[in-house]
Chain A
């Protein structure tokens, strides 16, 4: 590193920056070019740039320059039973920056029954005060009624939130019923939101948990035993079904098992708009540690859905990630101290759930997928940054190195080797689930909002510099297909003559009533049929065989009516 103008005192808040001689890697191509940025925005890309004097220059020496990572799933400063996660927005975003991630998207979790907007404002306040990098927010929908619908609408229209998470697990707390999820998805499909889903079958989990506790299994292994991976797969399948019925894009958070990932790839093959998000932990480690004799270690792995005890899972997930069947990698960073985890020392269902991963995310993917030859560097950029930006409708502002994009850049050192350990990590957690892993690939230099925040292993982050980035609805990445399908999916009735035959007498008692539940909210209000509608029929004009025509008079109103009186 050198300074062109010797007069400048080295200041870390340099507003103008030139990166020379780097290989720019976007999700579509890689090329050698210099980058000039000013005021946090990339102004020029190319060779022999004309830049003002005195600008700070970084020599990249042919190293990779990639768009800064976007961690689409974090839980920083998440309240939990009167306490909160040990990594607040300051600590958590520092860890993110240290790992090459320059933007996080955190989950707002309103208490069931409380206001979405208020919770959103509270999270904004916390993050504005402490975040060191840009952030955005998902809002979790933990209950559903008309006022929630209004609030969600104003969040989409005015507050810059375009993704909402629903829970299929956590019975009696966050869990929503199928019909509520259907309504939420319908709502989101209409207003351009992304439906995120925590997919596990909460009903069965509750039963299994009770069974495990009865059997005397109270340790962390009970967590994974009571949440077998097929419950995850089942819920993913159900979520895909509901989303395809409602024509809403679906985003499955935390894909932890092979079978859940398989369901997603199958659904994508059938054409469903569904995105799967494996997390750092599911790509980097597995669930065998739940059986560790060290309680604190076993408890530190507790997250939902649990890590799969099948040790081949990480490999499988990274393969699907490389093939594009899974779209994006989050971290689900949600850290609790050992003392907090110990709330559940006699009952695994009480252990607060969450693992670390925001710092290790990019390196784990590089090490597991790129170094092993599964994925190329462009795909690496896609799954760590670009796809997330597209889903959030932030592309190309984020997730791409292009003129006009935010200057969130990482110079990636492909050969760096570091050993993950809780002693040196930036998170406040005492345990690291990747403890002892050697990871190849690490950020050499991280630029966030045009400022160098990581250099020579030293972090120069300032709390409160992070900006909230509003996401607009109808991201093209998901909604182009959805919109096209909306036009096709219009159903039409068959215009028929009125049926004028005999109608059987029936007792309109409500209990033994119709098998359909919807009669109450949808009466047969319109006996007038629109005869101008086109008679779309899948079977083509099938009236050619004259048989049915004569059939109508086969049992005229007068004759045959003894059938009704048969018994």
Chain B
């Protein structure tokens, strides 16, 4: 294993100097001035001095602390001597991760750490992996903030030191889709904010964004405060909240504005499914999108065609199918793709960023991909379940197992779906992985034992999220470690305007850090999990990659399999509207997309007289909302430019057929009206 480790490190150093700009700067070359002047650069030294470009290597640029030599230099023997512990590569063969904590002043720090209050922390010798580059550097943390990143840091004595020994040091994961407080028919999920955030931390996720799900008719603000209260009391890691809009009316606007301006919420979810409950028709969606865009919010969309689902559900129940297999049968993936397409169309029309939650099927993902190729501002979020398992389990003969997989949109029965989704994640067409964690116990699921439409929807995944992305995408060679950081953390931080406070290891960022062991192998089982759920849908799956240490708010909360958390330590992180990653493009498009009418002379020919029967009113639907009365009709702004796609028509000015207008004068021809 140690050999593997060395190999791994050696290879991974390659991108480091390629990514870093050349330290000394390129030689200014002379322009050649004629055929007899010397060839450019002919006398320059052509030998590349790699050491000069290398980062984190012993070279002429900076000599690193003598106590720490890198394995790449070949002297493995004095691998690690820092405080007191010596770990040689051989020692790690026993399966323990190659990372050590040492205390320079052991007693103090042990004491502090036991209280969970270690405020100063140095992570030494790790490979810091951000979404754009990886580099070897130490990280010094104080008061929950990253204070220094670099080599040879000057740090106070007596601090706790984590020796990362070349392991990856990544920004803590951000899980953007959890439902830890969403009750179903009055029963709360078994994972509340305490259980859920514990599970999150154990999986390397240091921040969650939970969904506030008010019932139709409830006040959004009240619901928000209820959620905040619950989370403040119980959450073990930082959190933020999305607010779901269960129905649309004028009063909601005020509340939304308040939530954006005062409460620090910048993302709201709308539903295209759940007919008769949360579903909004297209015109309401249009209004909601328009309003949220003005507020600078990100619109999350639950994309499924609720009308058709309702029809299919009654059809399938009518056929006598009442088990969980009815769930995917009544929600075929086409309905998901259709709604995604419609949501994107709405987003394009309103010019508003759209974020598709829970991308579960190939066709939905392809729709997102195509839209991005056409330039739509749209983000797609697959979840742990959709990238790690598939919907064939709905046909399991074990009712409990089948019911545990019930989630909307359903897992696709196509077993090649996870693979397809990883590929799209790796190439950037899908951006963020959430978990959709919403855990109901078996007895809660059993509410729907005779009717699949009553089964509460939700799967687990907050704990397994990072591990499966690593296992399925990075370990398979689809994705590199930087993209791994991007999809598990950085992109989420950018989309929801938390960047660079979260989602990056940089000076000034929050000290939410994970030390990641790419070789750790873990078998998922209900017994070993943090969630209170009795049935883990990933039961028995092996997963490579996992956190060794998790640092949240500057404190070590997870260490070699042991969790040390405290309820109520999580802070609410407020978020500002207008995230750059979504709204920069929107702003420019706003300017470009303004439209202008054509200035024409007034039409002064005969006008057909229409009887004012209200029943008959025109096929134009807007007649009620925008009657012709409240616009200044006759005076047209003749200064407006007459933008014309077709340019001037050759016959524009020729009053061709002018004699023809009176072919049907008001008096004549009117016999047509009396025909029918």
Contacts and interface: CB of A to CB of B under 8 A. Distances in A.
B378 to A, nearest CB: 13
Given A77-B676, A230-B345, A209 B620 contact: yes
A552 B532 contact: no
Interface in B267-323: 273-278, 281-283, 286-287, 290, 305-314, 316-323
A209 B623 CA distance: 9
Contact of A519 (B307, B451, B633): B451
B413 interface: yes
Contact of B622 (A213, A505, A536, A551): A213
Given A201-B282, A524-B322, A430 B349 contact: no
Nearest to B401: A548
Interface string B446-464: 1101110110010000000
B643 interface: yes
Contacts of B600: 219, 293-295, 298
Interface string B621-649: 11111101001111001000011111001
A518 B673 contact: no
B664 A337 contact: yes
A499 B446 contact: yes
A289 B648 CA distance: 10
A456 to B, nearest CB: 27
A203 B286 contact: yes
A213 B442 CA distance: 55
Interface stretch (A23-31, A100-108, A489-497): A489-497
Nearest to B277: A515
A296 B605 contact: yes
A547 B345 contact: no
Interface in B356-400: 391-393, 395-400
A214 B626 contact: yes
Contacts of B652: 292-294
A171 interface: yes
Interface stretch (B324-332, B507-515, B576-584): B324-332
A222 interface: yes
A240 B401 CA distance: 34
A353 B663 CA distance: 20
Interface string A282-310: 00000111011111111000001000010
Nearest to B658: A296
Interface string A513-531: 1111111011010110110
Interface string B184-202: 1111101010000000000
A543 B397 contact: yes
B311 A182 contact: yes
Contact of A508 (B185, B277, B319, B396): B185
B618 A212 contact: no
Contact of B621 (A77, A171, A498): A171
A545 B313 CA distance: 31
A546 to B, nearest CB: 11
Interface centre among B306, B532, B625 (most CB of A within 10 A): B625
A534 to B, nearest CB: 12
B617 to A, nearest CB: 8
Given A204-B282, A292-B646, A215 B605 contact: no
A422 to B, nearest CB: 7
Given A83-B610, A548-B401, A179 B307 contact: yes
B616 A81 contact: yes
B635 to A, nearest CB: 10
Interface residues of B, number: 140
A526 B323 CA distance: 12
Interface string B605-622: 111101101011111111
Interface in A260-296: 287-289, 291-296
B646 A288 contact: yes
Nearest to A507: B186
Interface stretch (A56-64, A316-324, A341-349, A445-453): A341-349
B569 interface: no
Nearest to A126: B676
A2 interface: no
Interface string A181-224: 01100100000000000000111111111101111111101100
A135 interface: no
Given A182-B311, A343-B608, A504-B441, A563 B534 contact: yes
- Tell me what chain B mostly uses at the interface: helix, strand, loop, or mixed: loop
A491 B319 contact: yes
B592 interface: no
A414 interface: no
Given A234-B345, A504-B444, A538-B413, A212 B595 contact: yes
A461 interface: no
A1 to B, nearest CB: 36
B48 interface: no
Interface in B642-675: 642-646, 649, 651-653, 657, 660-661, 663-666, 669, 672-673, 675
Contact of A430 (B186, B187, B415, B663): B663
A501 to B, nearest CB: 6
B607 A339 contact: yes
A217 B342 contact: no
B565 interface: no
Contact of B400 (A170, A209, A552): A552
Contact of B311 (A179, A499, A504, A511): A179
Nearest to A123: B676
A208 B443 contact: no
Contact of B672 (A86, A172, A177, A508): A86
B399 A547 contact: no
A178 B607 contact: no
A316 to B, nearest CB: 16
Interface centre among B317, B392, B535, B624 (most CB of A within 10 A): B317
B108 interface: no
Nearest to B342: A234
A512 interface: yes
Interface stretch (A34-42, A241-249, A397-405): A241-249
A537 interface: yes
A342 B622 contact: no
A555 B651 CA distance: 83
A557 to B, nearest CB: 9
Interface stretch (B5-13, B162-170, B333-341, B466-474): B333-341
Interface centre among A350, A496, A516 (most CB of B within 10 A): A516
Contact of A231 (B277, B349, B392): B349
B532 to A, nearest CB: 7
Interface in A375-428: 422
A539 interface: yes
B597 interface: yes
Contact of B619 (A122, A170, A233, A297): A170
A561 B443 contact: yes
Contacts of A504: 187, 441, 443-444, 446-447
Contacts of B634: 346
A238 to B, nearest CB: 5
Interface in A474-512: 491-499, 501-509, 511-512
A46 interface: no
B631 A543 contact: no
B185 A564 contact: no
A548 B620 CA distance: 59
Contacts of B312: 245
A535 interface: yes
Contacts of A175: 621
A296 B661 contact: yes
B620 A512 contact: no
21 contacts: A81-B618, A126-B675, A169-B621, A171-B283, A179-B311, A209-B620, A230-B349, A238-B338, A339-B605, A340-B664, A342-B605, A342-B606, A349-B620, A349-B623, A499-B400, A503-B443, A519-B454, A524-B317, A538-B395, A543-B398, A563-B190
Given A179-B308, A345-B603, A524-B451, 10 more contacts: A288-B644, A340-B664, A349-B620, A350-B623, A353-B619, A494-B402, A509-B186, A511-B216, A513-B185, A551-B400
